[in-house]
Structure 1
Amino acid sequence: MRILFIAALLGAAAPLVAAPLSEPPQLPVLALTSPAPPVKIDGRLEEALWRQAPPFEAFQRFRPDSAPDAGPYRTEVRLLLTAEALVIGLRAWDPDPQQLRAPLARRDQVWPDQDSLTVWIDPTGRQQVAQFVRVNAAGVIHDGLYSAAADDEDTAPDFWEVEAAAHRLPDGYSVEIRWPLSALRYPLQGVLPWRVMVSRRVPREPALTFTSTALNREHPHLLAQMQTLSGLDEVLPERLARAEHRVLRSELTLRRGRPERASPQANLGLELQWRPRADWVLDATLRPDFSQVELDEPQLAGNTRFALFQAEKRSFFLESSEVLGHVMPDDWGVARGLLAFYSRTVADPRWGVRATWRGAQAEATALALHDAGGGQRWRPGPFGTEAEAVARASRALFARHRMQWHDDWALAGLVSVRDWQGGGQTRLLGLDFQGEPSEANQWRGHWLMSEDRTGPGASPSAHSERGHAAWVSWRHRGEGLRWHAHWEHISPRFVNDNGFVPQAGIERRTLEWVRPIHPESGPLVEWEWMVRLLDTRALRDPEHGVLQRQASAQAVQPGFWLLGPWDTGLWVHANEERQRAQAGGPLHRPRSWTLGFESHPGPRWHFAQADLTWGERVDVEADRVVRGLSLSSQFNWRTVLPTGWGLELEQRWALNHLQTPSGSEWALRERQSQTKLLLLLSPEQALRWVQQRGLGERRGEPGLAARQHRDRTTTFTWLARAGALRGWSLGLNLSRPALGAVQQRELFVKYQQGFAL
């Protein structure tokens, strides 16, 4: 396996220094120096101020193939800077406006099947993180953060202060966005030039993408290619210095349920955000109620021994999340990124405080909170994660300071502590870094040291155990070659009760080698040949039964990916694997195939996705190789009713079937489904029905006990918002957590009201 890694890297030899990019054109801004009538955000661009703002029209086509102009899809952007906000006016011409796809959709559901405009802003200028707002032709908002480190969007953060509206025109549509300076995160001293880009999506056949600046496909991320704003050198620092705010949000939740809660229960929660000056943000929360947060996506856990990653959806943890550091699973299901903080380890926060500071060449954040308990504590090993229910309360502390170094490099130090009620503590110290030695290369990594003084049930331990974790990642994007390589070493005693660490006592290497091809003609927009390599070794640890270093998981995955009509991606992989289910057990050699697709076929069936793996699989619990398959899928459908309301259906399925060695019967079967139906009354109001079902069955065999599990959850909710500071929900939850269990019923009302102080 090591020879394969070395050969793949040698075969990937290519120039590591790409040709420098030309400086993109600046975006002009009209800075209003005297009071002016406010711009009404209705999408119409009718105010006289818009005629005074200089237009920018030099958009270029990025996909399906590069072109120096937008052709008949002329696009224009105008920018205004008022005393409180950056106001953006966008005009999109269309040669066939009857083909515009502008459905009424949920927030953060502006997908590639819709005509939309996106504004990206990097207000720190350090080319690490950008805030973005995407608006479709119906005025629906999709917002979040783009990370250069991950080269990916995170749609969990919401910028509720941002206002946006769209207006249909006989020859296209227009959009207005008001982005308050208080909703942007930037330093106060030594302000770097803000970086901005505008992109436009046209879902025709083939799908078209236009950008306000030329993008180089070879660069690992888009932030270094964004434009700067002109005409603000003297005005911007003074405006930023005054962009302070104080917002107090309260939420009242009333619940009545059976059979546990015969009498109504009430909870009053408070959340305060104070920005005393532009570079500081202080957050505090008291008794937050996250009971109505949307259900997690269904996942299958019956044939894995490792903890599963769940995305964060609770608002308190999303502010300044990019400064905390990210961790996300990759295509192997392996956690990538900083392992130091994973907010889902906090089950029931009673109070929390956080401070975040941003400077021109540095940033820092510190967080402290009290968890009332009721969650799980993990103890990772090379062949599984031991989960332990913890009823004890705890306190979590986390702090990270990051410094920019020689412009293209950044170094951060961090500390993490979890104190358990009645004694017991885990501590973590570490460093992490990120650098770009050239425009085609990116390096990331960390070194972490842990100390654990807890025993079973988070009780104090008689002795402490120490461990360490190291990780290095190298991403290269060349003209005709890309690769992404990882090396990771986690010692047997590494523990972090504030982080996501599903596996320890291992050394892992992965490599993804990709040869991209961009056809000049034909139905294919892009296609790639690839090979993925994985080598995971369990480190010697006699205390946990690993008497010598041994292979845990190895794989060679050749395959291809292609992008064709209707924005359809198709991928196929052959899986040649070696897996060991337990220490000292046999090294199984299963072979299987993976077939997947993702498509945006039309305005009604607007999204379809499926990923199927079939062939030989390792039955982890039985420690054997059998025939089996696993499938995950998602289908989305929408329509517009005669009333103008939108109706949307989202269906998710996941299943896993393993056969007995004879192949005549099933040994394990799991199914998870989630059905979500929404009636969208307006961009601010919706009725939502969600039903989630789970089934897990293991057939009894010699040495394996039979078991069965069923669960079902149904929610009916009316959701409404009135601006950035007011919202409410009314609904009913019905759940049956296990087969034969009594059905739980809960009626709830939640009202949220904010106050600008």
Structure 2
Amino acid sequence: MIKPAVKRRLLPLVLFFSASSVFYAQAGETTQFNIQIPTIEGQVEIDGEFNETQWQQAAAATLAFETSPGENIAAPVKTDVKIFATQSSLYLSYHAKDPNPEQIRANLSDRDSVWGDDLVGIKLDTFNDARLAYQFFVNAYGVQMDSIENELTGSESDAWDGIWYSAAKRTDTGYQVEIELPLRLLNFDNKDKQTWGIEFIRFYPRNEEHRLSSHQIDRNNNCTLCQLGVATGLANIEQGNDLQITPSLVLNRTGNRPHEENSEWDNDNNIEPSLDLRWGITPSTLLSATLNPDFSQVEADAGQLDINSTFALFYPEKRAFFLDNKDYFDTQLNLLHTRNIGAPDYGLKLTSKLGDHTFATLITDDTNTNFLVPGNLSSDVASIDQKSHNFAGRYRFDFGKPLSIGALVTAKKSDDYHNYVSSVDVKYQPSDHDTFIAQYVVSDTKYPTDLFKEFCNTDDCLPKQNCDLNDCGVNERVLRTQKNGSFSDDMYLLKYQYDSRNWDAFAQYISIGEDFRADLGFVDQVDFNKFVTGGGYTWYPTSGFFNEVRLSGDWDISHNQAGDKLEQEAEARVQVNGQWQSYATFGVVHRDRVGRRHNGASLVIAGNTQMFTETMGWFYGNIKPTRTLFMEVDVNYGDDIDFANDQLGTRVKFNPGVNWKITDSIEMDLSHVYRTLDVDEGRLFTANLSDLRLSWYIDIHNFIRISSVYTDIERDTSLYKYSTPNAQYQQLGNEVLYGYKLNPQSVFYLGYSDGLKADDEVDSLMKTEETYFMKISYAWLL
């Protein structure tokens, strides 16, 4: 139920949107660029050669403009593009000319990991409504990249992987690329003739990374997809049967043992068959289904340090079933994070776009029930040993180009637990510069009566006598889960953003009630409200080392729902882009922030916390001085709260990284995090994390990768006043992996991984887990 006060806040905004005139029937404009794509009979062999007769009949274009760093100036090199369609595929050819072809930057690499290489590609808005666009790129070795650009959220994701075909060939005058995009992987209106938004693109990285385009891009317009050109024609194209069946088989042998001397191994052999189905019912309606799905993650997540942090870590989704048309579910708030669904027996997803209407539905079960328990000073993950049923449904209506209104519903339910979430959202862009966003969300939740015991620090879960600083047997997670019956609350977001060529500004207010939960999403903080405002100015020098300079800053203040201040912060930043493909940004943060609760048995902030004043400086920079070397560094120095002891310390963080293309097919990726926290009495802890990955790409399909992630944390336990952590903790994870990828869904993996630990009880690294695994899957395209 929407609270009356919230109704009063939202009503003027809704009336304003409803009364606004709706204009712009389509997004892409013929005044930007226009190409008529012919439909031609016959097939083309994708080999990087253009010797078929169809290429003589194809439509042609040139990439005449540099849009970055130059602002719509003449392109420094010539690029010729040809395009045509058959009834079932879209074909493109690129002749990327280069006066110095020996300087072409290209490497054999993993899919979606060749940014910084010489690339050619295309951007397609197949509904021409400036909401979503497909992007397809290929480097000079034929390595593919694809992604989805989402204008509504302002995000771009390369997690989605389509099955399409490409080949590249180096020549004496540059390189050639040939591409086939089967229409089965695109969503579009079921019409005899199509009108699509389109842009042909080339990235030409030398001293600077030049972005070349088929048409000009106006930096004074904050909508990028509104500036696509128009492709017409495409007569009588169709997706065909558009049926994909992908059986998979995963075999693994896993061993685990307790982290104790002379402990015994517990080994388990597992064979998991699975079946995925993807059916394009119409060109704009997709049904995906899975049985006993293989949701194994072959490659480990990047290492993260979890120290002196009170909030749960975020890990991105990587699983194909959830990623297909994921953008159809997206809103301004992260209300659907499918990594919360761990091990389902089945999954069913239907997505569709009919004219201005977009629909998306997801149904799965889960053998375990996992979700975040959020607070205003901390969050953690809870688990219920019960099967759950999960549902998400999304609807969006687009009033032409400027206005979108949507709704999202999610549900997560097991025997004595549920979480239901309902949301409405609005995005309105009345001009090239202004954007208004509003979203309102309500939730209804019920926890098992004994869930709170999972977070207790005492057997009886009662506060200790004369306790201090959360050493009470009770903490925020206990109090947030100690609920009787159902409870509900709301969340809302209001935002205005102004963007022009040089100036930008924004203001945002978000409020989340203390009993709000979004268990299928990633909302890790509740019982707070925050107002933030800021802006900046950007220059585009046409001479000198830098080609872009930006000054910006923001100010924010946060309170809990009782009105007690949690944080107040001001930040100033400088950002520059320059030669050697360099980027740097640095700034200073000054803030007041509360530490831990003194009495963990109470959620009160006023009189129960201490306010600390922090000043911190930070720097991040990266540079690619040669075609083989990319370097980056992230540095923090300044005040930081010691949450374990509720005092102010001095933080140092040094995080360098390097990617070295040893040859065109062998690369090393190394990063290291060094963190310390000093307090008045000495150094509280020193933490190191190293992440090393060596990859050999035998050819475009085969690779071997060796990776190791090592964590080493040393603490001075005499400086911990209220707890006794390990003085030493080490963890090492290793993996050796061979992979063959015919395409993203037709793969073969063979590998080994293990994990080793050390702490005060076992002071040398001891192997506690190991896995031998094989995975094979093949996508049948019918």
Q: 1:143 maps to which residue?
A: 146
CA contact (8 A) 1:293 1:314 kept: no
Q: 1:342 maps to which residue?
A: 337
Q: 2:255 maps to which residue?
A: 258
> Is residue 44 of structure 2 the alignment partner of residue 39 of structure 1?
yes
1:86 equivalent among 90, 95, 98? 90
Listed as ranges, the matches of 1:124-135 within 5 Å are 124-135=127-138
Question: Residues 522-564 of structure 1, C-alpha deviation per residue, up to 9 Å, x if partnerless?
Answer: 1111101111222221121xxxxxxxx2221221111211111
1:313 equivalent among 299, 308, 318? 318
Which structure 1 residue ranges, 5 or more long, are not aligned? 1-19, 327-336, 541-548
Partner Cα separation in structure 2 for residue 680 and residue 629 of structure 1: 37
Task: Give the superposition deviation at 1:219.
Answer: 2.2
Task: Give the superposition deviation at 1:63.
Answer: 2.2
Partner Cα separation in structure 2 for residue 485 and residue 187 of structure 1: 37
Secondary structure at 1:109's aligned position in 2? coil
Secondary structure at 2:486's aligned position in 1? strand
Letter in 1 for 2:532: T
Secondary structure at 1:182's aligned position in 2? helix
Q: 1:631 maps to which residue?
A: 654
Q: 1:756 maps to which residue?
A: 781
Letter in 1 for 2:694: L
> Is residue 108 of structure 2 the alignment partner of residue 108 of structure 1?
no
Letter in 2 for 1:614: Y
Q: 1:13 maps to which residue?
A: none
Secondary structure at 1:438's aligned position in 2? coil
CA contact (8 A) 1:270 1:287 kept: yes
Partner Cα separation in structure 2 for residue 416 and residue 96 of structure 1: 55
CA contact (8 A) 1:110 1:134 kept: no
Listed as ranges, the matches of 1:481-496 within 5 Å are 481-496=503-518
Partner Cα separation in structure 1 for residue 153 and residue 423 of structure 2: 20
CA-based RMSD of the aligned residues comes to 2.1
CA contact (8 A) 2:90 2:182 kept: yes
Listed as ranges, the matches of 1:126-275 within 5 Å are 126-159=129-162, 161-188=163-190, 193-232=195-234, 235=235, 238-240=236-238, 242-259=239-256, 262=267, 264-275=269-280
Question: Residues 583-633 of structure 1, C-alpha deviation per residue, up to 9 Å, x if partnerless?
Answer: 33121111110111022221121x222211101111122221111112334
Letter in 2 for 1:508: K
Secondary structure at 1:248's aligned position in 2? strand
Partner Cα separation in structure 1 for residue 428 and residue 654 of structure 2: 38
Question: Residues 345-394 of structure 1, C-alpha deviation per residue, up to 9 Å, x if partnerless?
Answer: 11222211111111120111111111111x64322111111432333221
Q: 1:734 maps to which residue?
A: 754
The 3 A distance-change label for structure 1 pair 697 and 343 is farther
Partner Cα separation in structure 1 for residue 656 and residue 121 of structure 2: 28
Secondary structure at 1:344's aligned position in 2? helix
- Using structure 1 for the length normalisation, give the TM-score: 0.89
Task: Give the superposition deviation at 1:502.
Answer: 0.5
- Using structure 2 for the length normalisation, give the TM-score: 0.86
CA contact (8 A) 1:469 1:491 kept: yes
Letter in 2 for 1:408: P
Task: Give the superposition deviation at 1:65.
Answer: 1.7
Task: Give the superposition deviation at 1:290.
Answer: 2.9
CA contact (8 A) 1:135 1:164 kept: yes
Task: Give the superposition deviation at 1:192.
Answer: 6.8
Partner Cα separation in structure 1 for residue 584 and residue 91 of structure 2: 40
The 3 A distance-change label for structure 1 pair 376 and 268 is same
Partner Cα separation in structure 2 for residue 386 and residue 669 of structure 1: 24
CA contact (8 A) 1:392 1:458 kept: no
Task: Give the superposition deviation at 1:500.
Answer: 0.6
Letter in 1 for 2:366: D
Larger deviation, residues 515-524 vs 296-305:
296-305
Task: Give the superposition deviation at 1:224.
Answer: 0.6
Partner Cα separation in structure 2 for residue 497 and residue 749 of structure 1: 33
Partner Cα separation in structure 2 for residue 44 and residue 718 of structure 1: 31
Letter in 1 for 2:97: W
Letter in 1 for 2:621: F
Question: Residues 640-683 of structure 1, C-alpha deviation per residue, up to 9 Å, x if partnerless?
Answer: 2xxxx610111122233111223xx3213333221111010011
Partner Cα separation in structure 1 for residue 350 and residue 544 of structure 2: 53
Partner Cα separation in structure 1 for residue 447 and residue 280 of structure 2: 38
Q: 2:628 maps to which residue?
A: 604
Task: Give the superposition deviation at 1:484.
Answer: 3.5
CA contact (8 A) 1:402 1:411 kept: yes
Larger deviation, residues 204-213 vs 287-296:
287-296
> Is residue 439 of structure 2 the alignment partner of residue 446 of structure 1?
yes
Partner Cα separation in structure 2 for residue 454 and residue 212 of structure 1: 56
Q: 1:435 maps to which residue?
A: 428
Task: Give the superposition deviation at 1:26.
Answer: 0.5
Task: Give the superposition deviation at 1:724.
Answer: 5.9
CA contact (8 A) 1:388 1:457 kept: no
> Is residue 285 of structure 2 the alignment partner of residue 283 of structure 1?
no
Q: 1:504 maps to which residue?
A: 526
CA contact (8 A) 1:151 1:220 kept: no
Task: Give the superposition deviation at 1:725.
Answer: 5.5
Secondary structure at 1:50's aligned position in 2? helix
Partner Cα separation in structure 2 for residue 299 and residue 456 of structure 1: 33
Question: Residues 145-188 of structure 1, C-alpha deviation per residue, up to 9 Å, x if partnerless?
Answer: 111134342111111x2101111111111111100110012233
The 3 A distance-change label for structure 1 pair 609 and 152 is farther
Which structure 2 residue ranges, 5 or more long, are not aligned? 1-27, 257-264, 453-481, 597-604
Larger deviation, residues 380-389 vs 552-561:
380-389
Partner Cα separation in structure 2 for residue 568 and residue 703 of structure 1: 46
CA contact (8 A) 1:244 1:277 kept: no
Partner Cα separation in structure 1 for residue 193 and residue 429 of structure 2: 22
1:651 equivalent among 646, 663, 670? 670
The 3 A distance-change label for structure 1 pair 463 and 191 is farther
CA contact (8 A) 1:596 1:610 kept: yes
Q: 1:522 maps to which residue?
A: 544
The 3 A distance-change label for structure 1 pair 631 and 393 is farther
Letter in 2 for 1:732: Y
> Is residue 56 of structure 2 the alignment partner of residue 51 of structure 1?
yes
2:365 equivalent among 342, 366, 370? 370
Q: 2:393 maps to which residue?
A: 399
The 3 A distance-change label for structure 1 pair 58 and 106 is closer
Q: 2:595 maps to which residue?
A: 581
The 3 A distance-change label for structure 1 pair 152 and 56 is same
Secondary structure at 1:262's aligned position in 2? strand
Partner Cα separation in structure 2 for residue 561 and residue 630 of structure 1: 20
Task: Give the superposition deviation at 1:441.
Answer: 2.1
Question: Residues 322-353 of structure 1, C-alpha deviation per residue, up to 9 Å, x if partnerless?
Answer: 00115xxxxxxxxxx32321111112222111
> Is residue 745 of structure 2 the alignment partner of residue 720 of structure 1?
no
Partner Cα separation in structure 2 for residue 201 and residue 95 of structure 1: 15
Task: Give the superposition deviation at 1:248.
Answer: 1.0
The 3 A distance-change label for structure 1 pair 724 and 575 is closer
Question: Residues 458-497 of structure 1, C-alpha deviation per residue, up to 9 Å, x if partnerless?
Answer: 6996421111010123232113201233211101110111
The 3 A distance-change label for structure 1 pair 476 and 140 is same
CA contact (8 A) 1:133 1:142 kept: yes
Listed as ranges, the matches of 1:293-312 within 5 Å are 293-312=298-317
Letter in 1 for 2:447: T
Task: Give the superposition deviation at 1:735.
Answer: 1.3
CA contact (8 A) 2:146 2:161 kept: yes
CA contact (8 A) 1:453 1:464 kept: yes
Question: Residues 41-92 of structure 1, C-alpha deviation per residue, up to 9 Å, x if partnerless?
Answer: 1122221211221311252011222244324x01111111101111111111
CA contact (8 A) 2:419 2:517 kept: yes
The 3 A distance-change label for structure 1 pair 489 and 47 is same
The 3 A distance-change label for structure 1 pair 457 and 604 is farther
